[in-house]
Amino acid sequence: MARTGLLVVLEGGEGVGKTTQWTRLTHALEATGQEVVALREPGGTGPGDAIRALLLDSEEALRPATEALLFAASRAELVERAIRPALGRGVLVLLDRYLLSTYVYQGMARGLEASGLRAINQFATGGLVPDCTLLLQLPVQEALHRMQERGAPDRLEREGLAFHERVTRGFDVAAGAEWQQAHPECGAILAVSALGSASDVSARCLAVLADRWPERFTPPVGQTP
Ligand code: TYD
């Protein structure tokens, strides 16, 4: 039977273990025999990788509006060149960050108006809405502790505690029903606790997917992380 494509996004603040989960979930889902296209923002295309370097590796100060436009430009490339073609083939796309990161980082943490962010991203994505977003949640102190154990921080990771608290708070607000109703372009946002071991968190993510799409993700997926 032909499958429809599915766009699953992983989101969360710095240090919640999102990229670890992105890798683990990709392997776990592939092990069940389904094709998974794993992509991450910003980057993932030639122009997108150049934009990523400008956004994260450069020492240049960027105005918040410039930052938002660059994230949207990288997203426009990824949607058109990689995400839509994969969805068109009926496969599962597992995407590390998408539109919600822009609302939280550039909107709630940097203070840009949500209406402007909505407009530039509608233009960038052509209105591509995720089927669901798994939002990994961790108290900010625990996340910062995990972040400090990693290597050299990038430009956004170097922001102070107040910035990261606004990011954590922003994701918490986005997990609420009221915010989601006001932002249908982000699709359903499902909160997943990131406490505990990597395999505990993977199991929680897979259980959420299996609950939502039982015919696609059960039974063997839950046993493989
Ligand atoms: P990355 O190195 O991919 O790490 P991670 O996703 O694991 O944190 O860094 C991406 C950074 O870009 C991260 O600090 C979040 C930020 N970001 C935004 O500010 N806005 C966006 O729209 C996106 C996609 C990312």
- Which atom of ligand 1 is found nearest the CA of 43? 3
| Residue 40 to residue 95: CA distance in whole angstroms | 5
- In eight-state DSSP terms, residue 223 is G
- Which atom of ligand 1 is found nearest the CA of 98? 24
- Residue 154 Cβ contacting ligand 1 at under 6 Å: yes
Per-residue pLDDT, averaged over 83-106, amounts to: 98
| Residue 208 to residue 155: CA distance in whole angstroms | 32
Question: pLDDT-derived band of residue 1, with 50, 70 and 90 as boundaries?
Answer: low
Per-residue pLDDT, averaged over 190-217, amounts to: 95
- Residue 125 Cβ contacting ligand 1 at under 6 Å: no
Question: Cα(2) to centroid of ligand 1, in Å?
Answer: 34
Question: pLDDT-derived band of residue 144, with 50, 70 and 90 as boundaries?
Answer: confident
36 φ/ψ angles, rounded to the nearest 5 degrees: -125, 130
Question: Cα(210) to centroid of ligand 1, in Å?
Answer: 27
**CA-based nearest residue to 35, from 88, 75, 99, 96:** 88
